[in-house]
A and B are shown apart, each in its own frame.
Chain A
């Protein structure tokens, strides 16, 4: 019984991590920020804004949403703040989807053997 309790607590813990991650990623501007930070490494807000039509304020707001979901972190560097990705929660979210995807593969394989026999 205590083992079950621990398992439930662990599951609740993972739930707390994944829910805001899915919400935070449900926006194209934020996904683009994630993609840029992932390929270019740590960037300042000025760099993230340059050459785009997204305002500095909007980028700041989106970065804070990502930070609250644990996806990004800002650290002070001189006069600027550098933003970098924290990939762990994203991998977690991806992993759950991969799992459901595998379950569909298994179900469709069973469907195939049902209709092709």
Chain B
């Protein structure tokens, strides 16, 4: 894991549902597809390459494939993929993938789910950016976020 501010995305969310319920929503191919927005062609088993059809309007022809890495029941689910590789005319297979890891922890309120997607530094990411949204974060705040990651001085 590198320390850069551009290599990874990390998200945490507390779900008011038992761990077993969240695990099923993540790893049952049909349930995964419902919230993720894809119809998967097969079950999610370790090592499987699972193709799918994206259900979001406008992306129906986009290639979709995940390579399942680990399934540790009710604890960890991970896969690799080509993030937002939406252009049906492009062959992404030779490009590096990102790694997506879901981790589950039981808490008093329900289940703490952490998602980490990493490996962006090796990816020609611009290709995947369909929309081009200006954000008005200035240079100063960009710097602050970099400083937070690397600290000052050498």
Contacts and interface: CB of A to CB of B under 8 A. Distances in A.
B6 A25 contact: yes
Listed from nearest, the 5 A-B pairs whose CB atoms lie closest are A18-B126, A52-B154, A14-B126, A38-B143, A19-B124
B106 interface: no
Interface residues of B, number: 54
Contact of B125 (A93, A103, A108, A113): A93
A89 to B, nearest CB: 10
Interface size range on A against B: 35 or more
Contacts of A16: 126
Nearest to B83: A100
A1 interface: no
Contact of B9 (A15, A26, A39, A97): A97
A51 B153 contact: yes
11 contacts: A22-B7, A25-B6, A26-B2, A31-B5, A35-B143, A39-B152, A94-B5, A100-B84, A104-B117, A108-B115, A115-B22
Interface in A38-67: 38-39, 51-54
Contacts of A39: 143, 147, 152
B147 A35 contact: yes
Given A11-B127, A114-B31, A95 B133 contact: yes
Given A15-B124, A99-B131, A115-B22, A31 B150 contact: yes
A73 B9 CA distance: 29
